[in-house]
Amino acid sequence: MITSMTGFGRGESSSNGFSVTVEIKTLNSRYLDISVRTPQSILDKELVLKEVIQKRLSRGKVSLMVNVEKSASKQTDLKLNSEIVAGYKDILNQLKEVAEITEPIMLRDILQFNNVFESKKEDPKDVETIWECTQKALEAAIDNLNRMRDKEGAELKTDLIHQINGISDMLETVTKLSEQRAPEVRERLHSRIKKMVSEDTFDPERMEMEIALLVDKMDINEEVIRLQSHLKFFIEALEADEPVGRRLNFLCQEINRELNTIGSKASDSKIAHHIVLGKEKLEQIREQVQNIE
């Protein structure tokens, strides 16, 4: 089944006072492009996270965000730097003495300095817990993402089959019109050549050969067969159990090539009209294909 490249997934996991939420969003891209945002505590795991994603996704612009929340018992990450505070107190007392200030030192005076508090070092056990929760949440997020991508892919498949069948019906109509035109084209060419030559120099055999060559140039049977083959391969690709976005994009190029050739060789207003309708359907297909993994 085909899969869309756009989607969103969210996963959560909690343990020992930590709650980890992972959100993953994907957009269209020719290649797999992954960006990751994680807390400082698991920043060194970015490569591992990308490797997990690479095993589950093959194309798309992927944005991954990891958020960690702590319970009340885990909230305090700061501690007082007692030595620094004592040093600032001494400096402020000296300043009071030199400046002959009698007002007492207030807490707000100490808090003017930025390094009064310092971050606690992460407990290795806490880091391990966060990482374990992140892995579980990531798997859940990717599962949810892929469910959404598969659902959208199924809708894309239905629409693509409808459009391809439309081109196939158009091709059948064009083929019938072309077959009906062959005698008419031959007669018209026959009349034109008769008028272009005089009776004295008229060569019936040469005239027939010229007509045969011109009619052959207008024969679209070869292009019709190739186009039918491309349409068949397109439908088959939609049933494949692997990423087929690039293959479908290539087939769109080949279908467009054959439509252009048929339109130029047929040289008929009715056929040209049907070819335009077919190219409109193909343009819709190409837009959809850009969203397929």
> Greatest CA span in the chain, whole angstroms?
132
Bridge partner residues of 12 (DSSP) = 21
**The CATH number of the domain where 36 resides is what?**
3.30.230.10
pLDDT tens, position by position, 180-218: 776 766 676 667 666 666 655 666 676 677 666 666 666
Q: Give yes or no: residues 238 and 161 share one domain.
A: yes
Kindly give the pairing relationship between strand 7-15 and strand 32-37.
unpaired
Buried b (16+ CB within 10 A) or exposed e, 264-278: ebbebeebeebbebb
Q: Give yes or no: residues 42 and 67 share one domain.
A: yes
- Give the residue numbers spanning the domain of 68: 7-74+124-151
Q: How many domains does the chain contain in total?
A: 3
CA distance 119 to 230: 63
CA distance 134 to 36: 13
CA distance 290 to 249: 7
The reply to whether the predicted model has a pTM over 0.85 is no
CA distances from 122 to 19, 78, 127, 128 (A): 16, 11, 7, 10
Q: Give yes or no: residues 207 and 267 share one domain.
A: yes
pLDDT tens, position by position, 68-120: 998 755 555 666 778 888 888 888 888 888 888 888 888 888 878 877 766 66
Q: Give yes or no: residues 11 and 26 share one domain.
A: yes
Q: Residue 95 CB: number of other CB atoms within 10 A?
A: 12
**The CATH number of the domain where 163 resides is what?**
1.20.120
Q: Give yes or no: residues 158 and 225 share one domain.
A: yes
Q: Give yes or no: residues 157 and 147 share one domain.
A: no
Answer yes or no: is 1 within a domain.
no
Q: Give yes or no: residues 93 and 66 share one domain.
A: no
Whether residue 243 is predicted with pLDDT greater than 80 in this model: the reply is yes
CA distance 278 to 271: 10
Nearest to 130 by CA among 8, 32, 45: 45
Q: Give yes or no: residues 175 and 165 share one domain.
A: yes
Answer yes or no: is 2 within a domain.
no
Single-letter code of the amino acid located at 250: F
Cα 238 to the center of its chain, rounded Å: 16
Number of H helices, E strands in the chain: 8, 6
Buried b (16+ CB within 10 A) or exposed e, 146-158: bebbeebbeebbe
Bridge partner residues of 25 (DSSP) = 8, 63
pLDDT at 109: 80
